[in-house]
Structure 1
Amino acid sequence: MSAMTSSAPFSRAVVRAMKRLYPPALADNSWDNTGLLLEAPFSPSSRRSNTVLLTIDLTRAVADEAIALDSSIVVAYHPIIFRGLKSLTFANSQQQSLLRLASHGISVYSPHTAIDAAPGGLGDWLADIVTATKQALEEDSGEEPKDDVKDTKTAKPDEDDPFVDKRPPIFTLHNHPSQTVLRLSKIPPAPSTSVPHTRRPIVPQSPELESHPGAGMGRIVTFKEPQPLTALLDRIGRGLNNPKGFPVAIPQNTTINDLTIRSVGICAGSGASLLANLDVDLLFTGEMSHHEALAAIEKGQVVINLFHSNSERGFLAEVLRDQLEDAVEEDWTKLREEEKGSDVQAIQEALKDEDFEVLVSTVDRDPYGIVILKGGVE
């Protein structure tokens, strides 16, 4: 195998690890596009570091970050390619990112719905939040997340200029931070205080994979005892590390304090099609349209939307990073052993570097933030 007809050895180890953790067979391949979406050729003259960057969306900012970090591969949860391409040009912003990454020797892998369906994946992470199973790690960096604040102080206007608005800013735009927890060294999990419940997939995996029993799309959580809606809202806020807010829809002529929840239907991202016909008290997802939410509350259901990718992003730092570190350590060791007899000098040099790093993007974020008014408008 020549260097220029394969991707970097480390990138191939990452792909192996991801396929082992989240087999492509778990994905909904009737519409999804998962797997190795961009296989960049290995260039001996510009070998990348053994770094994998995790992100939900592969935006231009994330591509810049991957290049700056000297990454070998990006694991992007959402596929940047969904449909067949007839061309690759700079006229399309997403294709720009792909072309730039390829030119720098950076590959792209997308697991998407394979992560949704897997036991211990995104569906179970959200179920852990509503059942108080998730052990949140508090961030204690000493710094508040930076918000997009309209700051009149920076302009320093002439105090006598009658055409300058001297009022203080009345709004702040809050984006949920891309990394929501402080990475701690691997420590045993705290004893579970999970609320007694049962859980099962909405659509079980068929045929079931022997390596991943219990897989399937979505989750239904049924509590042993009804839970106050206020308690679930508190768990969700804490489990998402205190976002500034998220949409909640409740049936008319009720209040949040009136409602109790016995069962929850869960789907990360855009969950309406999976949740639409469930006979449950609460629909918990990333986004749902106006009319879909109306239909739900007319049936007496509650809807909680987290914004699409905010229902997914925390999983990267809290779960996937550690999972991938362990899996890559095993697969990188195996691949280095398998290919140690390569007659390509550049590959031999790459195989000598046993160290690697798994990072979570610091610039990845949902396109929507929440504007919070700080006072009345005169």
Structure 2
Amino acid sequence: MNSVLLTVDLTKAVADEAIERNDSIIISYHPIIFRGLKTLTLADSQQQSLLRLAAEGISVYSPHTAIDAAKGGLGDWLADIVSGTPAEPEEVDGGVSRPASPTKSPTKRSPQPMPIDQEDDTFSEPKRPVFMLQHHPSQLSIRESGLKLASRKHTRSTIRPTTVAGFPEGAGMGRIVRFSSPQPLIDIIDRIGLGLGNPKGFPIAIPQGKRMDEMRISSVGICAGSGGDLLRNLDVDLLFTGELSHHEALAAIEKGQCVICLFHSNTERGFLHSVLKQQLKNTIGKEWEKVRREERAKDGLSDDYLEALEDEHTEVQVSEVDRDPYGVMISKAEI
């Protein structure tokens, strides 16, 4: 198949899924190999997945840092959630319009906990999509509710600008959003709740002696995944990231900052659903048409190869089994 499977983490379950689907390539946001290897062995579960995929002819590509740093990439996408910026569909899908899917309006500051034995809890069999961030115009019906919740004037800058040649101005790691007027922390939480698809809960830290409803936010430091190194010593009111260590969070609230964490990969997964899937679908379709045209002009092609070039089909899907390792378990006694 001329098909791509998108995932945040290349787990055994995702490898099984790709093999069953007979995909051509897995694009795994997180690299499955972080350090150099001298051997590949079946004794290691992650290396076993790579060997199985290689045997099946399925490639693996990991674009982690490039997607983080890209202008209009993951950092800007999270900044869109915080600020409520309604991007135009053309920024994502080249102007291809799609019918809006029905969505529920977020419940203001009152998410409903879910019993731990209910079928649809975090640890049950996942349903497409898992933790889908909903703010982006790839789901066009979200735009109106997003505007009502937010669309606040702000400036945006990069925490660590890239030094890689060829990247446009504004590319780099992390984002800082500065609002033209202070925003209630609870309003920002509502925007994040909308962007996350109304999750069951996520960790929030505020300075001791302060109340949530009295906190006002003029600036936000943003980092997908683990933000400790990038957000350290940043002069902002709120740190918005996937995870901080215990001591990093303590240091932040001691300085009067607030912290919102979403669990590591839940700051990343929705980007695959909402942005990258459609971008790749459009680009791959154009590239495959170009390759087919160029190859068919060559002499001496086999019948099998010519038959393959007749197939105009391309497909990009997001893994149905990829999810963050952590879920939120809520006691029924607290409901």
Above 0.5 in TM-score? yes
Q: Which runs of 4+ in 1 moved over 4 A?
A: 134-141, 172-177, 181-192
Q: 2:6·2:26 contact (CA, 8 Å) conserved in 1?
A: yes
User: Does residue 275 in structure 1 map to residue 231 in structure 2?
Assistant: yes
Q: 2:206·2:253 contact (CA, 8 Å) conserved in 1?
A: yes
Q: How does 1:281-300 map to 2 (within 5 A)?
A: 281-300=237-256
The equivalent position to 1:85 in structure 2, one of 33, 37, 47, is: 37
Q: Which residue of 2 aligns with 1:76?
A: 28
Q: Cα offset for 1:351?
A: 2.1
Q: Which residue of 2 aligns with 1:319?
A: 275
CA deviation profile, 1:211-250 (whole Å, cap 9, x unmatched): x332111000000000000000010001111111000111
The equivalent position to 2:321 in structure 1, one of 363, 366, 369, is: 363
CA deviation profile, 1:320-372 (whole Å, cap 9, x unmatched): 01111111112112222333327452443322211111101111000000001
Letter in 2 for 1:200: S
1:108 match: secondary structure: strand
Q: Cα offset for 1:209?
A: 2.1
In the alignment, the residues of structure 2 paired with residue 53 and residue 293 of structure 1 have an alpha-carbon distance, to the nearest angstrom, of 35
Give the 3 Å change call, closer, same or farther, for CA 234–342 of structure 1 in structure 2.
farther
In the alignment, the residues of structure 2 paired with residue 185 and residue 238 of structure 1 have an alpha-carbon distance, to the nearest angstrom, of 14
CA deviation profile, 1:3-24 (whole Å, cap 9, x unmatched): xxxxxxxxxxxxxxxxxxxxxx
Letter in 1 for 2:226: S
1:263 match: secondary structure: strand
In the alignment, the residues of structure 2 paired with residue 245 and residue 199 of structure 1 have an alpha-carbon distance, to the nearest angstrom, of 27
Q: Cα offset for 1:94?
A: 0.5
Letter in 1 for 2:37: L
Give the 3 Å change call, closer, same or farther, for CA 139–270 of structure 1 in structure 2.
farther
Give the 3 Å change call, closer, same or farther, for CA 270–186 of structure 1 in structure 2.
closer
In the alignment, the residues of structure 1 paired with residue 174 and residue 309 of structure 2 have an alpha-carbon distance, to the nearest angstrom, of 40
Q: 1:342·1:348 contact (CA, 8 Å) conserved in 2?
A: no
Q: How does 1:156-305 map to 2 (within 5 A)?
A: 173=122, 178=130, 180=132, 190=143, 193=147, 194-207=151-164, 209=166, 212-305=168-261
The RMSD of aligned alpha carbons is 3.0
Mean Cα displacement is larger for which, 107-116 or 127-136?
Answer: 127-136
User: Does residue 123 in structure 1 map to residue 75 in structure 2?
Assistant: yes
CA deviation profile, 1:68-100 (whole Å, cap 9, x unmatched): 111111111000111111111110010111111
Q: Cα offset for 1:104?
A: 1.0
In the alignment, the residues of structure 1 paired with residue 9 and residue 196 of structure 2 have an alpha-carbon distance, to the nearest angstrom, of 18
TM-score, normalised to structure 2's length?
0.83
Q: 1:118·1:215 contact (CA, 8 Å) conserved in 2?
A: yes
1:78 match: secondary structure: coil
Q: Which residue of 1 aligns with 2:96?
A: none
Q: Percent identity?
A: 59
Q: Which residue of 1 aligns with 2:266?
A: 310
2:34 match: secondary structure: coil
User: Does residue 372 in structure 1 map to residue 324 in structure 2?
Assistant: no
Give the 3 Å change call, closer, same or farther, for CA 289–201 of structure 1 in structure 2.
same
In the alignment, the residues of structure 2 paired with residue 195 and residue 181 of structure 1 have an alpha-carbon distance, to the nearest angstrom, of 19
1:126 match: secondary structure: helix
In the alignment, the residues of structure 2 paired with residue 173 and residue 186 of structure 1 have an alpha-carbon distance, to the nearest angstrom, of 23
In the alignment, the residues of structure 1 paired with residue 248 and residue 133 of structure 2 have an alpha-carbon distance, to the nearest angstrom, of 32
Choose 1 or 2 for highest CA Rg: 1
Give the 3 Å change call, closer, same or farther, for CA 215–287 of structure 1 in structure 2.
same
1:102 match: secondary structure: helix
In the alignment, the residues of structure 1 paired with residue 137 and residue 75 of structure 2 have an alpha-carbon distance, to the nearest angstrom, of 24
The equivalent position to 1:353 in structure 2, one of 301, 311, 332, is: 311
Q: 2:227·2:243 contact (CA, 8 Å) conserved in 1?
A: yes
TM-score, normalised to structure 1's length?
0.74
Give the 3 Å change call, closer, same or farther, for CA 354–342 of structure 1 in structure 2.
farther
Q: Please list every run of 5 or more consecutive structure 2 residues that lacks an aligned counterpart in the other structure.
A: 90-99, 105-113
Give the 3 Å change call, closer, same or farther, for CA 342–371 of structure 1 in structure 2.
farther
Letter in 2 for 1:319: V
Q: 1:139·1:181 contact (CA, 8 Å) conserved in 2?
A: no
Q: 1:173·1:372 contact (CA, 8 Å) conserved in 2?
A: no
Q: Please list every run of 5 or more consecutive structure 1 residues that lacks an aligned counterpart in the other structure.
A: 1-48, 142-146, 155-171
Q: How does 1:101-120 map to 2 (within 5 A)?
A: 101-120=53-72
2:329 match: secondary structure: strand
Q: 1:148·1:173 contact (CA, 8 Å) conserved in 2?
A: no
Q: Cα offset for 1:173?
A: 4.9
Q: Number of residues paired by the alignment? A: 305
Q: How does 1:318-337 map to 2 (within 5 A)?
A: 318-337=274-293
CA deviation profile, 1:49-69 (whole Å, cap 9, x unmatched): 111111000001111111111
